[in-house]
Amino acid sequence: MPELPEVERAVRLLRSIGVGKTICKVETTEDKLVFMQTTHDQFAAEIVNRTIQDVCRYGKVFYLELNGKGRAPVLHFGMTGNLQVRGEEPLRYQESPKRPSVTWPPKYMKFVLHLADEASNVTAEVAFMDARRLGRIRLCISPTAEPPISELGFDPILSMPSMTDFLPMVRRRTCPVKALLLDQSFSAGVGNWVADEILYHARIHPEQRCNTLTDDQLNSLHNHITDVCSTAVAVNADSQQFPENWLFRYRWGKGKKKTDAGTLILPNGEPATIKWVTVGGRTSAYIVELQRLPSNADLGLSNEPQPVSRPLRGGKRKRLVDDLPLQQPSKR
């Protein structure tokens, strides 16, 4: 699914073609699931004939600042949401279809904005589409002060906390560090591949518990949360321009298909071993030689097993609250 870098790319596209232009017409498709707390007709009526002043992002959510009275569109791609400008291919990310359609209006369209610039008589059309209907379209009076943005944690680009504040935020948790990174109320915008990339560079196993991280590990984690997101954003989320030593180039397919990148090489010149484990409900890639899960002995703990679940009736088990993210991340 689109994560912080891909959403930032969509924001830059919409900003480049939309700022200063007036929404002269809005086409919509009825979808009571994707349009939240509003209808598709209400959405169109509230934003038409208003000018786009800016397009902003926080985490995986983005919104349009419009002139005049009325609420602002607040958008979330979910798993398969996307933008497409008429006459161009839709924005693509790793698991997008290999041959995207350029038909218009695009399939699975939820709305199309018709944009006009009276000064230069320039027009453009941009569509929001979502095949799996896990995206969300809202109208908010104050986007940053209302859900969903008001319920999000720090944004690694816009509001990364200092190390002094970051350390207790992590240390007080007992869940696996990968699950914490996926929790949008902790780090807004970090999804599955970004979290794996961060932990790979920080040399931390995705299953290591937050309260067992050392000062050095926490410092590395703090640095790489910002570094990975900033690096991906700097190249406009173009994976072909990601550094050669990034895990992203080798993590897809779970070893069942070859990648164009070849084999990831360790610092000592040997080939790396990529393995996968499910953490926080997501498949997580890690490098065996670099991301070691510490044993109880390493941590100075008892070898007795620690309870992480409680039995319920019917053989079901209930996880402890801190073993899961506060908000379940959408699957890619």
Q: Is 60 a catalytic residue?
A: yes
* Element holding 178 (H helix, E strand): helix 177-182
d(CA 150, CA 120): 38
Task: Judge contact between 206 and 176, C-beta under 8 A.
Answer: yes
Q: Considering 3, 6, 8, 197, which one is annotated as catalytic?
A: 3
In three-state secondary structure terms, 252 is helix
Is 2 an active-site residue? yes
Strands (E), the chain: 22-28, 52-58, 61-66, 72-76, 81-85, 109-117, 122-130, 136-140, 274-279, 282-287, 309-311, 317-319
* d(C-alpha 58, C-alpha 76), whole Å: 10
Distance CA 123, CA 103 (A): 18
The one catalytic residue among 5, 21, 60, 325: 60
Backbone φ and ψ for 103, nearest 5 degrees, come out as -65, 155
Containing 194, the helix (H) or strand (E) segment is helix 192-202
| Greatest pairwise CA separation for the chain in angstroms | 73
- Residue 36 DSSP SS3: coil
- Selected catalytic residue, list 2, 73, 90, 329: 2
Q: Which residues pair with 58 in a beta bridge?
A: 61
Q: Smallest Cα–Cα separation from 192: which of 128, 244, 251? A: 251
Crossing angle for the helix pair 192-202 and 215-234, to the nearest 10 degrees: 130
Give the residue numbers marked as catalytic. 2-3, 60
